[in-house]
Amino acid sequence: MVKKKDNEVTQLSLFSNQVEKDTQKKPRPKNIPATKNTDASASGFGWRFQVMAGIVLSIHNIKELKSVEIEGSTEDVELKFNDKDPEYIQVKAVQGNPIDTKDNTKAALAMNTLINTSNITNGEYSKLVYVVNFMNPLDLDGSLLNAFWLPRMDAPFIRPYNSLPRNAKQFVQGRIKLARKQLAKGKYLDTVDHFDLNRLYVVTILVSSNDQDEQNYSVLEGVLDNFFSELKLSLKRAKINNVKNMLVNRYLANAGSKESKKNHEEITKEILVWRMIFEIIDEVPNTFYDDIPAELPDELDLYENDFIKQQVEDIDVINKVLAGINRYVKGTTPKNREVKEFVENKWMEYRETFPLGDDPLVQEYGIKMIMLRILNGERIIERIKKGVNL
């Protein structure tokens, strides 16, 4: 049964007869599979979908987000927040067309793990979330599916358990029973004392397992569209594509191996947001290129790539440059002439912040170019920072 709060009616009463031996059982270790059945999440596609779900739900929760961890210590995806308990997310994927394919065993496996997580955390969570890549995770018939479960290709479809139709709730309850039997059979703790249906959510993020499907990342693109629209940023399609491609290449492209340490990193909101910012603030005055040696442009591109790889996840880079111009113009809005003077006169003060490079001339103009990108993008940077509570 659910841990009761003041004046709250206990849910899952059909599970209230707990055997005394449950108090001596322990939760299942995360590295022990829920069952011995082969699961799509073990495949390369399943792992990539897991990362995709983590990034999509991170952006969806960006205002409150503190960090996201893929393959966290407790769940597939763990969202952490500044002002509330973590959100634990169990991700299940199926191969094939997400519209036509379904697999009811996924729900039981997910409930198995989420019940286990509720016990590991002693109920200290804000949400327990079951995420799939296919249309019909709750085994709804045609009419109910069309009425209650209509995921789109450009957004995650998120529903709390309490909003589900009766048939869907019955399906979830059946999967919970089966999950508890699985846990008990494995001699693990199967109590639902901490499993709160008020905090259970089901999510569909439509993604095909076909790598050639051009719609594979449409949900990510749609989430980014909505994110920038809420910030009242009117961006060219090319810039949104730059952000999408960065996320795909940085966080998804080589996510097939769970052994890679990079795939286990905890990604802070700062890292996620600053990487997106650098894909947007790409404006450099044409006059800059008029004043540089003719052979440098290609080398500057390489220098900038090295900078992004080495330093862009350090938010102090941007903060230092913006603080510097603010001091230089004494708090007033800088004019183009003042921006140019500041970069020419002060770039050497930022050498320690940027990669050294092999050629001092490339370093000089590389630093100047990146400083100009930051300064010309100041309004965008400030709007994004404010919009995501940075």
pLDDT in tens, 130-151: 999 999 999 998 888 888 898 9
pTM attached to this predicted model: 0.83
Please enumerate, as own/partner, the contacts of 168-174 that have beta carbons within 8 Å and a separation of 24 or more.
Answer: 168/138, 168/140, 168/144, 171/104, 171/107, 171/138, 171/139, 171/140, 172/107, 172/111, 172/138, 172/200, 172/202, 173/12, 173/14
CA neighbours within 13 Å on the CB side: how many for 235? Answer: 30
Per-residue pLDDT at 271: 83
| Span 11-40, average pLDDT | 62
- In the predicted model, is pLDDT for residue 11 greater than 80? no
Q: Which residue has the higher pLDDT, 347 or 353?
A: 347
The pLDDT-based confidence of 61 (bands split at 50, 70, 90) is: very high
Distance, in Å, from the CA atom of 105 to the CA atom of 82, rounded to the nearest integer, reads 35
Whether residue 66 is predicted with pLDDT greater than 80 in this model: the reply is yes
Q: What confidence category does residue 361 fall into, taking pLDDT thresholds of 50, 70 and 90? A: confident
Question: Which band of pLDDT confidence, cut at 50, 70 and 90, is reported for residue 77?
Answer: very high
Tokens (6 digits) for 290: 């008029």
The helix/strand/coil state of 278 is: helix
pLDDT score of 388 = 92
Section 189-202 average pLDDT: 96
- Sorted by sequence, the CB contacts under 8 Å of residue 4 that are 6+ apart come out as 10
pLDDT in tens, 302-323: 777 777 666 556 667 888 899 9
| Residue with more model confidence, 331 or 233 | 233
How far is C-alpha 187 from the chain's CA centre?
34
Q: What does the alpha-carbon distance between residue 387 and residue 390 come to, in Å, rounded to a whole number?
A: 8
Which backbone phi and psi does 292 adopt, to 5 degrees?
Answer: -105, 155
Q: Which residues contact 349 (CB under 8 A, 6 or more apart)?
A: 324
Task: Residue 323: name the closest of 374, 384, 272 by CA.
Answer: 374
Confidence at residue 196, expressed as pLDDT on a 0 to 100 scale: 97
Reply yes or no on whether the pLDDT at 355 is more than 60: yes
Average pLDDT over residues 43-53: 86
* Phi/psi at 87 (5° precision): -110, 125
298 vs 58 pLDDT, higher one: 58
- pLDDT, one tens digit per residue, over 211-248 is 666 677 889 999 999 999 999 998 888 899 889 988 88
- Which residue bears the tokens 């205002």? 63
Least confident of 35-44, 56-65, 76-85: 35-44
What is the CB-side half-sphere exposure of residue 226 using CA atoms within 13 A? 15
What is the pLDDT, as a whole number, of residue 48?
Answer: 86
Asked whether residue 88 carries a pLDDT value surpassing 60, the answer given is: yes
Q: What is the pLDDT of residue 19?
A: 46
C-beta of residue 86 within 8 angstroms of C-beta of residue 112 = no
In sequence order, which residues have a C-beta less than 8 Å from that of residue 333 and are 6 or more positions away?
A: none
Q: Is the pLDDT of residue 4 over 80?
A: no
Task: Express each pLDDT in 150-175 by its tens digit.
Answer: 899 899 999 999 999 999 999 999 99
DSSP string, 188-217: -----TT--GGGEEEEE----S-TT-TTTT
